[in-house]
Amino acid sequence: GENVEQHPSTLSVQEGDSAVIKCTYSDSASNYFPWYKQELGKRPQLIIDIRSNVGEKKDQRIAVTLNKTAKHFSLHITETQPEDSAVYFCAARARADSYGKLTFGQGTILTVHP
């Protein structure tokens, strides 16, 4: 089955700096890669996603890049703000899974210091 590795496990940055979180996946047939943000005690919220036919996607301060050859994808947050502090999870979905089952990474605790 699919295995997703996420790094780093914790990330601390100063407000205004950029933050990058990286994930690798094992199943070359995976075709959908969402990123979720989870604040303490709350639901994971989809912040951006990318499909395998696209190499990069951007939404304001957030961008995701995908390298299918290397089987890794990354989340980039620019001009970080304290409210960006949360746990971020990457995930991958295998093309063959018609039910859309996701395999999640271990999560990254991002702390943005004012």
Partner 1 sequence: GAVVSQHPSWVICKSGTSVKIECRSLDFQATTMFWYRQFPKQSLMLMATSNEGSKATYEQGVEKDKFLINHASLTLSTLTVTSAHPEDSSFYICSARDQGQPQHFGDGTRLSIL
Binding site for partner 1 (CB under 8 A): 34, 36, 41-46, 49, 89, 99-107, 109
Q: Which two tokens stand for residue 41?
A: 């005690």
Nearer to partner 1, 16 or 101 (CB): 101
**Measured from the CB atom, is 76 or 104 closer to partner 1?**
104
Instruction: Identify how many contiguous H helices and E strands the chain contains and give both numbers.
Output: 0, 11
Spatial strand order in the sheet of 4-7: 4-7, 19-25, 72-77, 62-67, 56-59
Nearest distance from C-beta of residue 106 to partner 1, angstroms: 5
**Angle (CA) 72 75 76, round 5°:** 130
**CB 35 to partner 1: min, Å:** 11
Task: Give the residue with the Cβ less far from partner 1, 80 or 105.
Answer: 105
